[in-house]
Chain A
């Protein structure tokens, strides 16, 4: 891929493993390091603490009791990681998603590389701006 390189540490939370592996492939192809991956909200919260990722790709529907929005809310309370939601079809939850403090955006599935890169660029700009301050 002839995209600019990003060096973010990323956590991928997605319960369809083939889709997760594909997203990891996309992330790695643009220079990101995947520091953790899981199908479960509960494990995502733990990995967010342990691995301190800068970006979390979060599916909304997950295995287990909690969904991705609840996990994101919990993670936002103790982490500054930007959260990029992914979902095939959950428009009714858009309002809930927007209320998450560290939300970076909303990726529609199937995830396309150019969509992902758009958000990575945005995150780079935001990170640079914060560093200037």
Chain B
């Protein structure tokens, strides 16, 4: 035997060995002939003689099978009825319909009821049976694959619809938050110059817009990479409060130490707004004088703001610390009573995250704000 021939034979055997045939045939002689025809193909044939028994077997198969050879005339339930009932159950099997009756009408009826092919039981037709089984098997596999892909497309479409609805809701919700913020801002309008009010408002909106910008770049539109978000947020803020730009960069040096995690939008929106307020406070109260000029030039030490976020592994508990080495808190400062809009926003959002806040002096200089909060983290 040549090598190619041998390989072909081996491959053929592999395919044949895989096929499980369910033979539903009551006539002993016919069953014997069919089995003999299939003998050299090494299929595994399971035979059932009774119609009702065959239906029960197919309704709830104890073993998987690939192709069903189904006789027309059977005791207790005939082949045509089995085809119809199996179709009603929504099951999809590869049926070859066998009958001594070779009328076109029977063939058409069987095909309409779900058979994939039709074989009259005459000697010369049996010779064609193995080829027919392989053809039906192949066609059936294609049909199953097509169905599977259709299901996948439907599922994906449904997921996209849900996602679209969810994002739409988020956007409207965030616009509602901005709407509320503007209302609060109006209550505090007489305390600050209008330029400052508008700059602060712009920064708040941008901390939220940045979430959507980052979301858009992700695969699943649901989670944000925290270190990247913090980096961008702080970069924006530094540029906003850049009173005397040095050629070498900002007048304040930032040190960030943020865990490499992803957060969902429900956490990142309030957290982003909190970081925005805390860094703004550090930049303005820590290092600017009453005229908005940087005080760092008059200080013996380089101005520095530290932002750290650490989360406990496998727990929702996280800690945010924002500290500066600026001029520190005024002696009469009380975080719980402080009635600036920034502090009001921070207190509200700490509550939103089921958190707590502690404001104190940083060591050796400046201010430190530590916030514990809970997150719906996604690894």
| Interface, chain A (partner B; CB < 8 A) | 16-19, 21-22, 25, 39, 61, 88-89, 109-111
Contacts and interface: CB of A to CB of B under 8 A. Distances in A.
Contacts of A110: 175-176, 179-180
Given A18-B349, A109-B176, 18 more contacts: A16-B177, A16-B352, A17-B351, A18-B345, A18-B348, A18-B352, A19-B177, A21-B180, A21-B344, A22-B179, A22-B183, A88-B172, A88-B173, A89-B168, A109-B172, A109-B173, A110-B175, A111-B176
A21 B345 CA distance: 10
B184 interface: yes
Given A25-B183, A110-B180, A89 B348 contact: no
A14 to B, nearest CB: 10
Contact of B177 (A18, A25, A39): A18
A22 B175 contact: no
B255 interface: no
Nearest to A109: B176
Contacts of A39: 352
A17 B179 contact: no
Contact of B169 (A19, A88, A111): A88
B352 A89 contact: no
A87 B345 CA distance: 22
B181 interface: yes
6 contacts: A18-B177, A18-B348, A19-B180, A21-B348, A25-B187, A110-B179
Given A17-B349, A18-B348, A89 B169 contact: yes
A89 B172 contact: yes
Nearest to A112: B179
A22 B172 contact: no
Contacts of B165: 89
Chain B CB count within 10 A is highest, among A25, A61, A110, for A110
A17 B352 contact: yes
Nearest to B184: A22
Nearest to B172: A88
A36 B181 CA distance: 22
Which of B168, B169, B183 has most chain A Cβ within 10 Å?
B183
Nearest to B177: A18
Interface string B335-370: 000000000110011011000000000000000000
Q: Which of B168, B169, B173, B352 has the most CB of A within 10 A?
A: B173
Nearest to B273: A18
Contacts of B344: 21
A17 B168 contact: no
B72 to A, nearest CB: 51
Interface string B145-179: 00000000000000000000100110011011101
B169 A16 contact: no
B230 to A, nearest CB: 21
A10 B10 CA distance: 81
A18 B180 contact: yes
A18 B177 CA distance: 6
